[in-house]
Structure 1
Amino acid sequence: MQDQRRRAADWFRDLRDQIVEAFEGLEDRAGGDAMPGRFQVTPTRRGEDGGGGLMSVMRGGRVFEKVGVNWSEVHGTLAPKAQTAMAARGVPGIAEDPRFWASGISLVAHMQNPHAPAVHMNTRMFWTPGAWWFGGGSDLNPCLEYAEDTAHFHDQLRQACDAHDPDYYPRFKAWADEYFFIPHRGRARGVGGIFYDDLNSGDWDADFAFTRAVGQAFLPAFLPLAEKRMAQDWTDQDRDAQLVHRGLYAEYNLVYDRGTKFGLETGHNPEAVLMSLPPLAKWI
């Protein structure tokens, strides 16, 4: 399993590099008087245990108002709260041995133009002495929805899923619809996507291949939407709708998001964990 862990961590790092390059390229193509945005890269460390990662954040670009593309590889001992939660999920042996290793990529983009959708994507591998699994997904969060954009995003994810298992897309889309729901608002935070966790079919190579497919589908799913909408005219009312929608996004990530809770409970850099929060938001 040591070799598999190394392969997974290296691939997540490579995906991070590809996305950073693509996003900076989009900033260059956008044109305009403002300087094209660039990522500020900061190494991170995880508390008193081991590991860390790279926090890559761009602020105030031509296309992106704030975008983070983080990679991490961490290990150590789970805090009692996280250990109890995993034991409740049925992770084998975790109640007796709280050691863990995890690696993954996490991305959230908040856009300058209200017509361009915000987006989230992550993929990860988790290991404990008694188990391993993959998880992740991607979902689109427009404040001003375009049906053709939603259809394109879902079609790319469907193709990635269907290449591995025809049951994956309907199953993981339904999981995303349930997971990315804000109970206290009675609504979804966006137009969905896919979400999966605890993926262990018994075939590590197959599950890793699917997780790579999810990551590789991200740029074809999202980049054409950002490029199409980045120069579209918008009004003060559009901006207001964007800020209100961002308030919903912030509420979800702070109250319900599993990754946010895990990152804070296991002592990872809080700036990296909370990278997903928008730069500006509004509540009415």
Structure 2
Amino acid sequence: MDDQRQRAATWFHELRDRIVAAFEALEDRARGDAAPGRFEVTPTTRANDGGGGIMSVMRGGRVFEKVGVNWSEVHGTLQPAAQKAMAARGVPGIEADPRFWASGISLVAHMQNPHAPAVHMNTRMFWTPGAWWFGGGADLNPCIEYPEDTEHFHRTMQSACDPHDEGYYDRFKAWADEYFFIPHRGRARGVGGIFFDDLNNGDWEPDFAFTRDVGSAFLPAFLPLAEARSRQPFSEDDRDTQLIHRGLYAEYNLVYDRGTKFGLETGHNPDAVLMSLPPLAKWV
């Protein structure tokens, strides 16, 4: 399992590098008086136990108002709150041996143009002495929805799922619809995508291959939408709509998101954990 953990961590790091390069290239292609945006890269550490990661954040670009692409590889002993949560999810042996290892990539992009959709993507591997699993997915969060963009995003996610299991897309789309729902608002955060967790079919290689394909599908699913919509003119009313919609994103991530809770409970750098929050938002 040591070799498998290293392969997973290396893959997530390589995917992070690929996405960062693609986003900076998009900034270079975009028109505008401002200089193209660039990522500020900061190593991160954990307050408890070992490991860390890379926090990469771009602010004030031509296309991206704020985007974070984080990679991490962490290990140690689960704190009581996280240990209890894992036990409640049925992780075997976690109460007797709370050691863990985890690696993954997490991405959230908030756009300058209200017509360009915000987006989230995450893939990860988690290990304990009694279990291992993969999780992740991607979901689109437009402030102003275009049905053809939603269709393109979902079609590309389905193309990552079908070669592995023709039931995956329907199953993981439904999971995303449930997971990214905001109960106190009675509505979804965005237009969905796919979400999966606790993926362990008993054979590590095909589960890792599926997780890689989900990560590789992200740029084809999102980049054409971001590039095309970022060229559209927008009004002050459009910007107002965008800021109000971002409030939904902030509410969800602070109240419900399991990854946010886990990151804070395990002592990871809070700036890295909370990089998903939008730079500006509005409530009415």
- TM band (smaller chain): over 0.9
How far did residue 32 of structure 1 move?
1.4
Aligned pair count? 284
How far did residue 158 of structure 1 move?
0.4
Could you tell me which runs of 5 or more consecutive residues in structure 2 were left unpaired when the two chains were aligned. Answer: none
The 5 A counterparts of 1:1-284 are 1-284=1-284
Deviation digits for residues 240-276 of structure 1 (CA, Å, limit 9, x no counterpart): 0000000000000000000000000000000000000
Are the counterparts in 1 of residues 58 and 67 from structure 2 also a CA contact under 8 Å? yes
Q: For 2:85 and 2:272, how far apart are their aligned partners in 1?
A: 22
Q: For 2:99 and 2:248, how far apart are their aligned partners in 1?
A: 35
- The percentage of counterpart residues that share the same residue type is 82
How far did residue 47 of structure 1 move?
1.0
- Give every structure 1 segment of 4 or more consecutive aligned residues whose post-TM-superposition deviation is greater than 3 Å: none
Aligned residue type for 2:52: G
SS in 2 for 1:184: coil
Deviation digits for residues 66-89 of structure 1 (CA, Å, limit 9, x no counterpart): 000000000000000100111011
How far did residue 138 of structure 1 move?
0.3
Q: For 2:239 and 2:264, how far apart are their aligned partners in 1?
A: 31
Q: TM-score, normalised by structure 2?
A: 1.00
Q: For 1:163 and 1:277, how far apart are their aligned partners in 2?
A: 34
Q: For 1:280 and 1:31, how far apart are their aligned partners in 2?
A: 23
Deviation digits for residues 119-173 of structure 1 (CA, Å, limit 9, x no counterpart): 0000000000000000000000001000000000000000100011001000000
Q: CA RMSD in A?
A: 0.4
Q: For 2:31 and 2:115, how far apart are their aligned partners in 1?
A: 17
How far did residue 95 of structure 1 move?
1.0
SS in 2 for 1:234: coil
How far did residue 5 of structure 1 move?
0.1
Q: For 1:199 and 1:115, how far apart are their aligned partners in 2?
A: 34
Q: TM-score, normalised by structure 1?
A: 1.00
Q: For 1:221 and 1:125, how far apart are their aligned partners in 2?
A: 22
